[in-house]
A = this chain, B = another copy of it.
Amino acid sequence: MSGSGTRTGLVITAHPGDFVWRAGGAIALHAKRGYRMKIVCLSYGERGESQFAWKKAGATLADVKAGRRDEAERAAAILGAEIEFFDCGDYPLKPNEEMLDRTIDIFRELNPAFVLTHALEDPYNFDHPTAAHFAQEARVIAQAMGHKPEKYTSYAAAPVFLFEPHQPEQCNFKPQVILNIDAVWETKYRAFQVLAAQKHLWEYYTRVALNRGIQGGRNTGKPMTYGEAYMRLFPEALETLG
């Protein structure tokens, strides 16, 4: 929870597309409910996730980065989130100590009610586990009173949810939570449309959402149409099971 009493959520991603495809529903849902949602986007995905941009004749790295940044900003705005870019380079992702330090500050400033990041394994994309590890490490250090002790304020390490990778089984991803995103599906789909070059993924991730929705309903008896799947990194403490 940030200073003002507003509840917050923090999303840490390797590349711009990730927060749209994988967590766009959670972002939009909590934004709609008044959460301050913040995305830390480690790279622009400029080398590895921009095949289409590079097909333009004469494309330069600066062009590609600017294009992806623009898309990411527009998608974040649609979802109702702030976004901060670290521009750490991709393929491979190279976050440095300064970026870790900045992320720790963000954790302390936001005191998020929950954190969203990548799955811990992905044999198709090593930037994803790198980003997840970076997020975990920042979260733990933010708790350490001895890190910048002069700035330390009471901070509770937030629950971490890992979002669904492109080929979940190959990443040993097993859904533990299916979030009902019916209320914001239209918003998520509008954010898809910003990613005009990846049109083939609009339908892929629509299908993922519909099938997760059916699974969500089957696991609870309460129907939902669109779902987003997450793993929990830590046990949850509950006051009731019913």
Query: Residues of A at under 8 Å CB distance from B?
Result: 7, 9, 26, 29-30, 33, 35, 46-48, 50-51, 53-55, 59, 61, 64, 91-92, 113-114, 116, 123-126, 133, 136-137, 140-141, 143-147, 149, 152, 156-157, 159, 161, 166-170, 172-180, 200, 203-204, 207-208, 210-211, 214-222, 224, 227, 229-230, 232-242
The one of B177, B216, B234 in contact with A123, judged by C-beta atoms closer than 8 angstroms, is B234
Given A215-B235, A219-B235, A237-B220, A50 and B146 contact (CB-CB distance below 8 Å): yes
CB neighbours (8 Å) of A137 from chain B are: 92, 126
A242-B9 CB under 8 A given contacts A140-B125, A220-B236: yes
Minimum distance in angstroms from A17 CB to a CB of chain B = 14
Q: 5 smallest A-B Cβ distances: which pairs?
A: A156-B221, A47-B146, A207-B207, A113-B242, A48-B144
